Structure 1
Amino acid sequence: MKKKFLLLIPILFMAVLISGCQQTNNDNQPIEKQIIKVGYFPNVTHAQALIGIGNGYFQETMGDNIEIKTTVFNAGPSEIEALFAGEIDIGYIGPSPAVNGFIKSNGESLRVISGAVSGGASLVVQPELYDAFQQEGIKALENKIIASPQQGNTQDISLRHYIKENNLESKTTIMPTKNADQLILFTKKEIDGAWSPEPWASRLIQEVSAKRLIDERTLWENNQLCITHVIANTDFINEHPELVKKWLQAHIDITEWINDNPDEAKSIANSEIEKLTTQKLPDEVLNIAWKMFDISVNPVKNSVYTFGQWAYEQGFLGDTEPDLTNLYDLKYLNETANTEY
């Protein structure tokens, strides 16, 4: 994998030189390329997509007859709607919108085909609340306001479950608040804490002196919980299984390369974030955030099933208990990775 990445730049340079030469078949007719429509977020927890699309490795693996068309999203529900509309074939997304999309389509429109990132969320709090928690324990959260990124999203569901499990439902206020607004409210001391994904949790720590009270990984079996996985449109899976396998091979390769080359991976991911958003993460934020999640193709299925159950109990999935039996289609991942997830 490392050698492939090192060779990739000259390969892409040569591709630019010959891009004016259109491919033709034996009858000298232009070859129509198969388009793969891919969605992802400009976020460090979508590292494989950022790096593999940014440096061209996905394109190299898929081949010259494939055109990768990308769409960048800032919210999971909009990515799911795009998948419903046939505008996304493969997407990198969090568990909550994927489960919602699966249920909304009666289990027909999508499947999870791989894991991508585990961990990557924390409860960060005001320094005085952190100190109080060391003395009083969970009681310190009474009469406090804790923010989550969005009502019903993955971190919101985790926060609500944590509050319920500790009998704080009537004593602690949950305030769904956009990640960027959390920085402002934290500075004004209008919130006492936030259950936030990376890099926002680390930004709160670096920029407004928050303290990390809970790394969510510590609340889960084997310190593993899904924060990003790979989904695919079921029509695309059925019609193009060979392309699904090729994509997953590249996804596995990139995952291994990221873990072997974390410094270079961080640099490429941050450069891509800057291209997509015009703003890169400060190095001190990126370095802390990167340590808070694990890059892995393990889908951590049990954590997603648990998120689904919690979301149902919290009233986000309707009146019928969700059946997530067919949420996963991992046969191509298992074949490609030569393991059983």
Structure 2
Amino acid sequence: MKKWLSIAVIAILSVVLAACGSDAGANGGDGNKNNEITIGYFPNINHVAGMVAETKDLYSETLPDGTKVNYQYFPDGSSFMTAIETGDIQGGLVGPGPAMNHFTSGAEINVVAAGSTGGTVIMAREGAGINSPEDLKGKTFVSPRVGCTHDVQFETLMKEEFSLTSDRINGEMKHVTGKPATYSSLFETQNVDVATVPEPWASSIEAEGSGKVLIDTPEVAFGETLPAAVFVTSQELVEEDPEMVQNIVDAHKKATDFINENPEEAKQIAIDKIKDITDQELSKEVIDRAWERIDFTYDVNEEHLQEFADSSYDLEFLKEKPDLTGLVDKSFID
């Protein structure tokens, strides 16, 4: 598998993986009706439940006999949400930002569980002359997408605590986007000064020495309370086949319990799966460090999601004040 070297390559990778691993693209929204489902997730530590469920074949334990389970890997939340809305995947893990943004734009989706909390770190490039957040005026920062979970966390903190905003809203910080796996190289080429980074890529940057921790997880806005990943499915699937959704969520819960009960094995699964997807092999030291910044849980707090959505509106990522009523359905985890 080729390395993720560009957005184009990543997009091709997702398509190829989907084509090789399933007929989900051909079946579209009818995949689950043909005893076949596709689950999606990202190659981030916050999504380890997806890696464990795939490696341990946990969905096959909860779904009806004969159900074929496929997996599709995503580079960002926008492509994931599009796949949910088109029915190319039936469920999976995504950041809360894309889920809320699409819901408030009219997408008929449900958050049926959480995946993890924590794991966002603000990293500064070595040699950039940045010793505190006050030094970011006039600097360039990178996030995975405009308005993604990590972007909102960073911009909320900077606006509320340091009165600094991005050039998107006529502020003093320049904002660019890029894939977390490439942030270390962006630091090395001095293309960016700061990155808002999901694990394990923050710990990888630390280990490689191209960047240093500027703001650690507990100090990032919503750093330890906001679900860093949520499990999403379509409202149509919830209404038409709640038993299918329950089976899917049961497998996700099993994966989460496995992570908490068998952390060392789960770490190795993450190392192997991330290498398989991205062709980047992370060391045990990097994974150990990343693990310390994350809690794995399937419980989801609606109030925390609403607070985060309100902040997205305040930062002008959303055009209208959000009302997340109906987004979360906890009936499958209660």
TM-score under structure 1 length normalisation: 0.79
The 8 Å contact of residues 122 and 201 in structure 1, kept in 2 or not, is answered as yes
Pair 1:143–1:222, CA change in 2 (3 A): closer
Q: Secondary structure at the match of 2:281?
A: coil
Question: In structure 2, do the counterparts of structure 1 residues 268 and 213 end up closer, same or farther at CA, with 3 Å as the change threshold?
Answer: same
Count of matched residue positions in the alignment of Structure 1 and Structure 2: 296
Q: Does 1:306 align with 2:307?
A: yes
The answer for the alignment partner of 1:152 in structure 2 is: 147
Aligned pairs (5 A) from 1:274-285: 274-285=275-286
CA distance in 1, matches of 2:66, 2:290: 37
Contact persistence 1:156–1:176 (CA under 8 A) = no
Q: Which residue of 1 aligns with 2:123?
A: 124
Residue 122 of structure 1 aligns to which amino acid in structure 2?
V
Q: CA-to-partner distance for each residue in 1:34-58, whole Å, 9 max, x for gaps?
A: 2223211232221111111122122
- Work out which of the two has the higher radius of gyration on C-alpha atoms and give 1 or 2: 1
1:111 corresponds to: 110
Question: What CA distance in whole angstroms lies between the structure 1 residues aligned with 2:331 and 2:130?
Answer: 48
The equivalent residue for 2:324 is 324
User: Residue type of the partner of 2:289?
Assistant: I
Separation of aligned partners in 1, 2:76 and 2:223: 28
Residues 87 and 73 (structure 1), Cα distance of their counterparts in 2 relative to 1, 3 Å cut: same
* Mapped contact 1:114–1:230 kept (Cα < 8 A): yes
Question: Which residue number corresponds to residue 292 of structure 2?
Answer: 291
Q: Which residue of 2 is the match for residue 20 of structure 1?
A: none
**Matched position secondary structure for 1:250:** helix
1:133-158 deviation digits (Å, cap 9, x = unpaired): 3xxxx433333333222211111112
Aligned partners of 2:131, 2:79: CA distance in 1, in Å? 39
Alpha-carbon distance in 2 for matches of 1:254, 1:212 = 30
SS in 2 for 1:115: strand
Work out whether 1:80 is the aligned partner of 2:81: yes
Structure 2 match to 1:96: 97
Partner letter of residue 167 of structure 1? S
**In 2, Cα distance between the equivalents of 1:95 and 1:77?**
11
Distance 1:220 1:313, change over 3 A: closer
Whole-Å separation in 2 of the counterparts to 1:278 and 1:213: 28
Q: 1:142 aligns with which of 137, 143, 146?
A: 137
CA distance in 1, matches of 2:66, 2:323: 38
Identity %: 30
CA offsets per residue over residues 179-224 of structure 1, 9 Å max, x none?
2443223123343321111112112111134221222333457932
Counterpart amino acid of residue 124 in structure 1: M
Change (3 A) 1:45 1:132: closer
Matched residue SS, 1:322: coil
Aligned residue for 2:50? 49
CA separation of 1:177/1:248 partners in 2, compared to 1, >3 Å: closer, same or farther?
closer
Structure 1 position 82, deviation (Å): 1.3
Change (3 A) 1:38 1:328: same
Contact 1:122–1:214 under 8 Å retained in 2: yes
Farther-moved stretch of structure 1 (306-315 vs 140-149): 140-149
Q: What whole-Å deviation, never above 9, does each CA across 1:119-139 have from its counterpart, x for those lacking one?
A: 110111135678833xxxx43
Partner of 2:131: helix, strand, or coil? helix
CA deviation after TM superposition for structure 1 residue 330, in Å:
0.8
Question: 2:271–2:282: 8 Å Cα contact kept in structure 1?
Answer: yes
Q: Deviation at 1:33?
A: 5.8
Question: Amino acid of the residue matched to residue 174 of structure 1?
Answer: H
Q: Do the aligned residues in 1 keep the contact of 2:117 with 2:294 (CA within 8 Å)?
A: yes
Looking at structure 2, the residues matched to 315 and 287 of structure 1 have their Cα atoms a distance apart, in angstroms, of: 36
SS at match of 1:303: helix
> What corresponds to 2:242 in structure 1?
241
**TM-aligned CA distance change 1:33 to 1:132, over 3 Å:** closer
Structure 1 residues 130, 332: closer, same or farther in 2, change over 3 A? farther
CA distance in 2 between partners of 1:249 and 1:96 (Å):
24
Q: Any idea what SS the aligned residue of 1:36 has? A: strand
The residue aligned with 2:17 is none
Deviation at 1:110, TM superposition (A): 0.6
Higher mean Cα deviation, 252-261 or 216-225? 216-225
Residue in 2 that maps onto 1:14: none
Q: Which amino acid aligns with 2:250?
A: Q
Conservation of the 8 A alpha-carbon contact between 2:51 and 2:273 = yes
Q: CA RMSD in A?
A: 2.3
Query: What's the counterpart of residue 251 of structure 2?
Result: 250
Q: Which residue of 2 aligns with 1:168?
A: 164
After TM superposition, give the deviation of residue 308 of structure 1 in Å.
Answer: 1.5
